[in-house]
Structures are given as structure tokens and as C-alpha cells.
Structure 1
Amino acid sequence: MSKWPASLWALLNLMGFIIMVSVNYLANALPIGGRTTGEVSALYPVLVTPASYAFSIWGLIYLLLAGFVILQLIPRWRNDKILECIGPWFFLSCLFNALWILLWHYLYVISATLIIVALLTTLFLIYRRMNAYAQEVQQFLGIERLLVHLPFRIYLAWVAAATLINMNVLFSVFTSGHWGMGELFLAIMTLVIALFLALYFGNRYGDIAFMLVIIWALIAIGVNQKDNSLISAIAFAFAAFLALMSLIIFRQRRR
């Protein structure tokens, strides 16, 4: 798949990143569709909607991704093997990210859900390919850990959480917001899935960053859903449990 020179992948990644960041900026600056991203979210209140502060994590994600894009443009620091592993998937993820924003702002919820699943898939492919490469070489420069591995771990975790939330929004649209106990059941199942995803990535890959992002999302859900004591309690309990498990996994990996 990656027969192209690494320098070409680097330029494509830069182009994709610029497109993604530009669309995300314009989404709120114009705003696209006449609504900010937060205003669109407010149209679809679901029981797993996190507090608005949680979305500030996008700033960290884009900052780290900018570091990755800059790093892979500098021949001295560029790891051609990593770029070959990533191949076209980062560029595609940028396009999917931008397209999701456009569809979301124009209220095409079904299409937006399909696209965020596509985004999640591309990020998981990047994640798996980089982990396979990590097992092969066994050693990385500190800057590669910070600007290559960390960005995609955080990005994947947050998009996984966003996808679960998007699924709840989709069901809300299908039922016109009148789905009774079904909404509560789906919200609880969403929290359970988030818990098991964090435990899987923590145990399988030793990915503390992934676990911390899910903890961040769970706490924000608990804060925002304080009027629903059951959802809030479950979210906080799962966050506390994951915090304990992340500490245990971290200590085990340090031995």
C-alpha cells in the first residue's frame, strides 16, 4: 500500500491537516450552517452528553497532531517507516473529520454517524499499524512517543467516545426524542461499552492515555447529567474504577 515515498505521505498529511483544521475553525467562525458546533449538540440532548468543557480536548488533539505533521516534514526527524505504516490513513482521517463537521452542522445526523464511524476505523487502523511497528522495533525516540504515538492514542479514544455519543443522538433522532426507558438503557450500555473499551486498550496495549481520555469523558458526562442521578453515579463510578485500573496497569508496566 505504501509504495509512495515518505516525503509524499508527509505532504499529503500536511494538506489533510490544513483542510481539517480550516473546516473546524470555519465551523464556529462563520458558523457553518448558521450554528456553532455546541449549538448543534444542544439540539440533540441525550443522557450521555458530556459537559461542554470536555470538548476542549480537541485543542490538545489538534496541537499534538500539528506536532506530528511538523515532525514528519523535517527529514532529520522523520521516521519513514512510521509514515509507511500510517500510509494514506491519516490523510483520510482528516477528510473524514472535516466531512463529519460539515454533515453535523447541516444536521445530516445519519450521514454524520456513518462518517464518524469511518473516522474511527481509520484511526484504529493507524493505531494497530503503529503498535505492530512498535513491537517490531521495541524502541522509540522520546519525541516520537510524544508527537507520533500520543496524538493518535488520545485522538482514537476521544473519537471512540464521540462515536458512542453520536449513536445515542442517532437513536434520539429516529424516535423523535420520545423513547422512554430505551434512552436510559442505551445510555447505560454506552457507559458500559466505554468502560470495556478503556479496559481493553489498557490491558491489551498498556495504553494509559486511552484510559485517561475515557475517564475525562465519563467525568464530564457525570457532571453534565447531575439531574439524572443514576447516569451520573454510574459515570463517576466507572471513572473512579478506571482511574484505579490505570494506576495498576501503569505500575505493572513499569516493572
Structure 2
Amino acid sequence: MKQSTKALDRDKLRQFLNLAAILAAFGINVWANIAPLNGLTIGAISNTFFREVLIVPANYAFAIWGLIYLGLLSFGVYQVLPAQAQNPSLRRMGYLLVVACLAQIAWVFVFQYQWFTLSLLAMLGILLPLLGVYRRLGIGTNRVSRLEKWLIHIPLSIYLAWISVATIVNVALTLYSLGWNGWGIDSQLWTAIALVAGGAIAAIVTMGHRDIAFVLVFVWAFVAIAVRQANIFLIATTAAGLAIALILFLVFSILRRQNSRLPSP
């Protein structure tokens, strides 16, 4: 009985910390836009200091944070319900999302104070725990109820996908801030290479997980990059081409999966 009580207490602590971390990350994000630290919002820093970085998406792309936090808040409320205290999937997730949210808060502070190298480290502090969550929950591979899919898997998948895109962008911003010259290779070519690398990540996830939400986030980002860099042929065509290719690849993967489930004649 004592061991069962301790396990229940640990579950309650995990539930509370997950919800608290999500609320804290959301609150800091709102605060950073309403009353920006160091006088500049994240968007203003991006548009001022990094307007020449070609992989930054159009401003409208960052509206996805509204969807991300809506999903995370829905997840936070769902997982804190008494009925979910002993949910084995949530137990496997542990405190990884808490770590990611704390790193998210740290990223806001260091980026707004323009410590861009530290911002990359903070971004990795978000990415790596989210990768652990993705693997532990088996998102895209483990079968779950429709409710768990919409309140657990999809919100966390969208969050991971956007952080994956943001990490690629953050690498480019950090290198630019350090004055890296690209070893003499044209910045447009480096940007195209980075886009292809991002597309490869999304394609691998599609093959292994058939995760629609994850792939569509990359499509959203690529379209936004193509829109922002519409006057640069190489980048616009690469980004738009990758977006189209990912959609076609996703449709092909879904159809192949459905066909594999059909009974043999």
C-alpha cells in the first residue's frame, strides 16, 4: 500500500510539473512579445539582425506558435486529469517535456539578450528532450485511441517538428552572428543544402512513422521560406519543390499503408 501511495504521489508530481512547465513557457512567450526583454521582440531581432539570413521563413509562419501552445495547453490539461495519472504512455514520457519547456524559457531570455550561441544550446535543450518524448511515446508507430492521438501525439508531434525547423534556422543565425563565411561557398547554395537536409529529415519521419502532422509542419515552413525568398530563384524553387515533394511522398506513404491493410484476395 505504501509503495502504491508513493507511485501515485510521483504521478501527481509529474502531472503538476508538466502542466506548470507548459503554462510557464506560454506565459514567458506572451510576456516576451508584450514587454520584450532588452527592448526588442524575437521577431524584431530576426528581421533586424538576420534579414540577410536566407533560411528565415516569412513572418506569418511564426503564427504556428498559436497552434503549438493550443495543443500543449490541451495536452497539459488532459494529462493532469485524475484518470490519466497512471497512463503508461505518460509515465514513459516522464519529465522530458518539463525539461523542453524550461529550455524554451531559457531560449527566449538568451535570444532576446542577443546571446545567439547560447540560444543554439538552449534550442538543443528543447530538441533533444522532445526527441526522447517522440521515441518513448512511439508517435506515428504505436496505435492509440483517437483521443490520445489528438491530445497527446499530434500536439507533441507539431511541437517537435517546428523545433526541428527552428534548430536548422538557429544554426544559420548563430553562424551568421559569428561571421562564418561558409568556407567561400555562396550563401544561397548553403541555404539550399540546409533545406534539402530538412526535407530529408521530414522524409525519414514519413517513412518510419507516417506522421502527417510532423510532415505538414515542414511543408508550412518550406512554403513560408519560398514566400519570403520569392525573388531568389534557387531558394524559392528548392523550398517550394521540397514542399510539393513532401506532400506527394506523404500521400504515397499513406496509400501504401492502407493497401497493406487490405485483405489478400
With the shorter chain as reference, the TM-score category is over 0.9
TM-score, normalising length from structure 1? 0.92
1:103 — aligned with what?
110
**Are 2:117 and 1:71 equivalent residues in the alignment?**
no
Q: Who wins on radius of gyration, i.e. which is larger?
A: 2
Deviations 1:174-224 (A, max 9, x none): 117898644223211110111100100000111121111101100000000
Q: CA deviation at 1:76?
A: 2.7
1:92 — aligned with what?
99
1:38 — aligned with what?
43
Q: 1:16 aligns with which of 15, 21, 33?
A: 21
Q: 2:63 aligns with which of 56, 59, 66?
A: 56
1:127 — aligned with what?
134
| Partner SS, residue 83 of structure 2 | coil
Unaligned residue ranges in structure 2 (runs of 5+) = 1-6, 260-265
Q: 1:231 to 1:132 in 2, by over 3 A?
A: closer
1:173-188 matches, within 5 Å, as 173-175=177-179, 181-188=185-192
**1:16 and 1:91 in contact (8 A); partners too:** yes
Query: What is the rounded CA distance, in whole Å, between the counterparts of 2:65 and 2:242 in structure 1?
Result: 23
1:190 — aligned with what?
194
Query: What is the rounded CA distance, in whole Å, between the counterparts of 2:246 and 2:81 in structure 1?
Result: 38
Q: 1:254 to 1:79 in 2, by over 3 A?
A: farther
Query: What is the rounded CA distance, in whole Å, between the counterparts of 2:15 and 2:191 in structure 1?
Result: 40
- Percentage identity across aligned positions? 31
**2:139 and 2:157 in contact (8 A); partners too:** no
Name the Cα RMSD after superposition: 2.0
Unaligned residue ranges in structure 1 (runs of 5+) = none
Q: CA deviation at 1:253?
A: 2.4
Q: 1:4 to 1:177 in 2, by over 3 A?
A: farther
Deviations 1:10-43 (A, max 9, x none): 0001111121011101111101220111101112
| Partner SS, residue 5 of structure 1 | helix
Query: What is the rounded CA distance, in whole Å, between the counterparts of 1:24 and 1:152 in structure 2?
Result: 18
1:207 — aligned with what?
211
1:216 — aligned with what?
220
Q: CA deviation at 1:254?
A: 2.6
TM-score, normalising length from structure 2? 0.89
Query: What is the rounded CA distance, in whole Å, between the counterparts of 2:132 and 2:182 in structure 1?
Result: 36
Deviations 1:41-70 (A, max 9, x none): 112121111011110111001001101000
| Partner SS, residue 76 of structure 1 | helix
Q: CA deviation at 1:134?
A: 5.9
Q: 1:38 to 1:216 in 2, by over 3 A?
A: same
1:143 — aligned with what?
147
| Partner SS, residue 213 of structure 1 | helix
Q: 1:119 to 1:4 in 2, by over 3 A?
A: farther
